[in-house]
Structure 1
Amino acid sequence: LLLHFFQKIYYSFSSQLSQRSVLLQQMENHLGDKKTEKTSQTQAADAAYKRNAALLNDIEAAEKRLQARVHLQPHPDIVKHETLYWASVEESIPKWEQFLLGRAQTQWEVGRNQTESQPN
């Protein structure tokens, strides 16, 4: 009878120990899976950070190249109009030279003075 009692206790203890061992193994597996998942997420986040940093560097480099081109090469229409403007200025210099030197009136002032001096 006592032997039978100890056998029951032993089997009960063995069963509980076995269940605990299975549960412990399941928890260790779960923890391992979580660590693997976290490592994978960390690696993915690091890779995304590096990709984003590389993209940002590429965008900043492209922006600098565009700014340099904008400052170095004006739009062709602007160059055309600047050229026409300065050609016009150079063409007008002889007409304005005496006025700019303070030796004569402008053509408009001369025309206005002549109009004012004529009788109606």
Structure 2
Amino acid sequence: MTALDKILHLTPGERAVAVRNVTGTLAVFDSHFPRFPVLPGVLILDDIVRTARLAAPGAPSGTVWALADVRRVRYRHFAEPGDQLEITVDVTEATGTSVTAKAAVRVAGRDITTVRQLRLEPAGGDREAS
């Protein structure tokens, strides 16, 4: 459902920075607090995972990185229509079987979401990544 609009920086195995524009035409705003539309936190987390996949080194042949665990997620402020999310993911550890990272999402230089630990693992061939 979500998509990144632009990749600002990419160093596989180290860091990725991406941008997502929150448009007021997203269908989710019809039902997610219609009088005070805010982007659901799960969609912000999905954008973080997408950016983490970019930051991760190449997965073992025939697999993709899938979310395995996320810890210490903090939603500090709302993301509203018209906002531009800047998503930064820094890889803190990478092995052949997992990638651990931390992330921050900012709007106009202000942290709106932080993730202290996110772990990706290779998904099996029969499991589809979003």
Q: TM-score, normalised by structure 1?
A: 0.21
Write 1 or 2 for the structure with the bigger share of helix: 1
| Greater radius of gyration (CA) | 1
Write 1 or 2 for the structure with the bigger share of strand: 2
Q: TM-score, normalised by structure 2?
A: 0.19
Q: Tell which has more relative contact order, 1 or 2 (C-alpha 8 A, sep 6+).
A: 2
